Amino acid sequence: MTGVQTFVITQRNAPAGLKPATAGTASRTLDEALEAKAQIIELLELGHFQLRKWASNIPELLSDIPQEECLLSSKTFTGHDSCSLKVLGLKWEPTTDTFSFDVKSSIRPCTKRVILSEIAKIFDPLGFLAPLTIKAKCLLQRLWLLGIDWDSDPPEDVNSVWETFCNQLSILKDLRIPRCMTINNTLTYELHGFCDSSELAYGAVIYIRVSTADGLTQTRLVCAKARVAPIKKISLPRLELCAAVLLTNLAKFVLDTYLTKLTLHAIYLWSDSTVVLSWLRSHSSRWTTFVANRVGHIQDIFSTETCFSHSLTNIELNRSRDTLLIQSAHVRISQLWNQVYCAAL
């Protein structure tokens, strides 16, 4: 038998968690984590590999690991020190078990080249910062439509928007996204997805809603994605349909990733567009090519009776219709996600 076949827990975690330079995995209980740690160590020793820079949100898991092989010091968990590490490009703080961001932005003259450079600096694979980064992408599209050269000065109003965006980047240091999506005595897991659009951009966001036997509920942000509306103007209902396609693809990605780890009891995909909902409840052949192709794509992946049967008609989604954009530097991204959508769950 091969090594991965021999070690049962390692076999479950190795394909997704082991990389050439790093290994990351999660367990439901301390006993399961200890067993996984022992099996991973034993497996890698077969190839004379040794794991270093150990880190965990549970100090007991590292109690038998030599201090020089641990990334975290003992005082880290007492509040006298802080430590973070990169997990597949995301900054993870083990002591608080949260993801955080450290985006350093220098105030430079607003040009198309600078905006593109600043956007590229923000690594956000799960879309946690989508409400903020989409503003810069919309601004870049506007410069493109104005025909501004890469290093030319833009209009004054564009400069003002860019300066506001750079100032808003400072809020990222206070943003914390919980990593763990489960709680003790979990009874049910529900996936809730929301999509919406404006004339500037459209996007989608996925949450996991957890309920316990005690009646407690908890909602966790899983991932999000936002896209700038195409340069060629299309109607708002069609943009809403594009948002529904984006949500469908995002939900499928989440399901493919988590179905082996969580048992979902319900899936809800929400849209506030009654036009989109009417399209989805009919056969795709009834509509024009643009609508038919996208409706057919959604219907091939999800049952419309199960997923797109509700609309958010009685919930205020917008502060200015575009729910993806931050309008004030005083509004934190985490508050935006929570106030706009979590209240609906």
Instruction: Summarize pLDDT for 261-277 with one digit per residue, the tens.
Output: 778 888 889 888 989 98
**Angle 27-82-167 (CA atoms, 0-180°, nearest 5)?**
105
Residue 103 has pLDDT above 60, yes or no: yes
**One domain, residues 57 and 199:** no
Residue 74 has pLDDT above 50, yes or no: no
Residue 82 has pLDDT above 80, yes or no: no
Residue 248 has pLDDT above 80, yes or no: yes
Domain boundary among 32, 55, 81: 81
Assigned domain for 166 exists: no
CATH number of the domain enclosing 195: 3.30.420
**One domain, residues 322 and 187:** yes
Assigned domain for 226 exists: yes
Beta bridge partners of 210: 189, 218
Assigned domain for 108 exists: no
Domain boundary among 81, 114, 142: 81
Residue 5 has pLDDT above 70, yes or no: no
Assigned domain for 140 exists: no
**One domain, residues 213 and 337:** yes
Tens-place pLDDT, residues 112-132: 998 898 888 888 889 998 988
Tell me which of 90 and 165 has the higher pLDDT: 165
Q: What is the Cα–Cα distance from 23 to 322, expressed in whole angstroms?
A: 39
Q: What is the Cα–Cα distance from 50 to 142, expressed in whole angstroms?
A: 51
Q: How many domains does the chain have?
A: 2
Assigned domain for 169 exists: no
Assigned domain for 121 exists: no
Tell me which of 104 and 339 has the higher pLDDT: 104
Residue 317 has pLDDT above 90, yes or no: no
**One domain, residues 202 and 74:** no
Assigned domain for 155 exists: no
| Helix, coil or strand: residue 220 | strand
Average pLDDT in the 292-299 region? 94
Please, which residues have CB within 8 angstroms of residue 152's CB and are 6 or more apart in sequence? 111, 112
**One domain, residues 207 and 323:** yes
Domain boundary among 81, 106, 124: 81
Which tokens go with 213? 């036997």
Contact 185, 214 (CB under 8 A): yes
Average pLDDT in the 210-216 region? 84
**One domain, residues 231 and 339:** yes
pLDDT of residue 22: 60
Half-sphere CA count of 55, side-chain side, radius 13 A: 20
Residue 293 has pLDDT above 90, yes or no: yes
**One domain, residues 70 and 209:** no
Contact 242, 198 (CB under 8 A): no
Tell me which of 158 and 105 has the higher pLDDT: 158
Tell me which of 29 and 18 has the higher pLDDT: 29
pLDDT of residue 21: 55
Contact 240, 196 (CB under 8 A): yes
Q: What is the Cα–Cα distance from 281 to 275, expressed in whole angstroms?
A: 10
Stretch among 162-166, 242-246, 324-328 having the lowest mean pLDDT:
324-328
- Residue whose pair of structure tokens reads 């038919």 in the numeric block: 292
Tell me which of 10 and 83 has the higher pLDDT: 83
Q: What is the Cα–Cα distance from 98 to 185, expressed in whole angstroms?
A: 21
**One domain, residues 209 and 74:** no
- Residue whose pair of structure tokens reads 């820079």 in the numeric block: 53
Assigned domain for 107 exists: no
**One domain, residues 334 and 191:** yes
Please, which residues have CB within 8 angstroms of residue 114's CB and are 6 or more apart in sequence? 108
Residue 202 has pLDDT above 90, yes or no: yes
**One domain, residues 75 and 224:** no
pLDDT of residue 239: 96
pLDDT of residue 330: 31
Residue 151 has pLDDT above 60, yes or no: yes
Residue 337 has pLDDT above 60, yes or no: no
pLDDT interval class at 141 (50, 70, 90)? very high
Stretch among 63-67, 244-248, 337-341 having the lowest mean pLDDT:
337-341
Host domain of residue 221: 181-344
**One domain, residues 68 and 207:** no
